[in-house]
Amino acid sequence: MTQLHIPHHVPCIIQGQATQGLADSFAVLNPATERIIALCSSPSAEQIEYTISTAQHALSTWQHSDEATRKAVLMRIALGIEQHADELAQLIVQEQGKPLSLAHTEVAAAIAWTRYQASLDLSPEVLQDDAEKRIELHHRPMGIVVSITPWNWPLMIAIWHIMPALRAGNVVINKPSEYTPLATAKLVQIMQRELPAGVVSILTGDAETGAQLSQHPLVNKIVFTGSIQTGLKIKQHTAASFKHLTLELGGNDAGIVLPDSDLDKIAARIFNAAFINMGQTCAALKRVYVHESQYAALSQRLANLAETQILGDGLAPETTFGPVQNAKHYQKVKQLITEACTEGAQVLTTAQPLPAQGYFIAPTILIHVNAKSRVVQEEQFGPVLPILSYQNVEQVLTELQHSDYALGASIWSSDIDKAQRYIQHLNCGTVWLNTHAEVLPHVPFGGWKHSGLGVQFGQQGLLENTLSQVIHIHKG
């Protein structure tokens, strides 16, 4: 197993320079070993102010850069990420816990997303052009964008936040999760080679750093991926200043397996959609409703797949399943499983040997679950999947309509036409048929209700980083 040498102290990047934070330092742990792998320092309030002022200065030039310049810069950044792919993947494994193969997938996705953003066009749209009048719609930069990123996909979600903002002519200050700042810091370091100083900065720190950034009067937009609770705080704190928001606040995605489904075809797809990144994915499948005629058979297939997983350090070549990312969340997921079992649920998977250290929970299939259990009603965001039996699919659809979560859902069936008739009854941002958790750079993605505001990805996601300006030209 190769252990990557990680700098003892990871600095902020302010005005293009590595800068030691002047507030408290904090440790970054490897969740597979519970060992400290790096120290980071939080910026002082004065350093945060300085970062914002340097971003404001950089904006005065960057917002007027032309389309060709921005596209070329993003393409060079993508190349830089590609050149450091191995280092980035190992950083992700050590700070986040996922297996190395999945970390490489995350890096590859980051490269692809960056190149896709570079390909998009923001030319003015002509709304009218006749003998008397020409009307044009222009897409202008918003200004300073603050990006607050989570710990589950630290590199990829930073790319989702930063690249469209840059492509639109904004400047960005990123505040990564204090659990996983290393790969994001490396990304921003790579970006400094291609960007004027101050266009992209990174401030490592805790919630106080994020709060000072998000409430600052010079900040024009917040893009945040994380919990509903934090998203609501951001929304409340920014309401008076009318900041623009893009919030992706997670989901409790349900899958409905119709009784005509071919279980041999879909079982592995359902398992992978539920346990991708050890279940720590906003769009992962969080609960599955199965017709009573197939309930036992599908549950057993999923349990069999769970028992093939090899738990361990993500840098070990045999590992297929890593740890939960941090101790606090590990305790939460364990508690949800314990509560569900107290309320009558049964763990179908057999006990698997776990590493002696680390925040490991084996992939857990729960059957006979009380529909009111927290593991069903809340987003567990971990390696546990409750399976619920139903008789009438209309009752399931009605139940799902009352959920505050509305990110995604899926229907599984051998009859596509029949499955499509149920889509209109699913109140959520994305519906998948015979797949789940598939997000693509050219396809808008976002939640309804408490699952978020706005969308990311595609042309629509890019435009969320712009302000519309209409120009009327009278020719007479």
- Catalytic residue, chosen from 248, 379, 428, 464, is 248
Nearest partner of 321 among 283, 284, 362, 359, judged by Cα: 362
DSSP, collapsed to helix, strand or coil, labels residue 76 as helix
Q: Is 248 a catalytic residue?
A: yes
Report in angstroms the alpha-carbon separations of 230 from 148, 212, 220, 234, 332: 11, 14, 19, 6, 17
For residue 158, give every residue at least 6 positions away whose Cβ sits within 8 Å of its Cβ, in sequence order, or none.
Answer: 147, 149, 174, 176, 183, 184, 187
For residue 61, give every residue at least 6 positions away whose Cβ sits within 8 Å of its Cβ, in sequence order, or none.
Answer: 196
Name the DSSP letter for residue 224.
E
Bridge-based pairing state of the strands 25-30 and 17-19: unpaired
Q: Which amino acid is at 385?
A: L
Q: Where does 341-425 show beta strands of DSSP type E?
A: 346-347, 364-367, 384-390, 405-406, 408-412
Nearest partner of 212 among 50, 56, 26, 453, judged by Cα: 50
- Catalytic residue, chosen from 12, 40, 282, 428, is 282
Radius of gyration, CA atoms only, the chain: 23
DSSP, collapsed to helix, strand or coil, labels residue 321 as strand
Q: Is 34 a catalytic residue?
A: no
Interatomic CA distance for residues 118 and 212, integer angstroms: 31
Interatomic CA distance for residues 473 and 163, integer angstroms: 33
| Cα angle, residue 380 at apex, residues 433 and 283 outer, rounded to 5° | 30
DSSP, collapsed to helix, strand or coil, labels residue 377 as helix
Q: Which residues are catalytic?
A: 248, 282
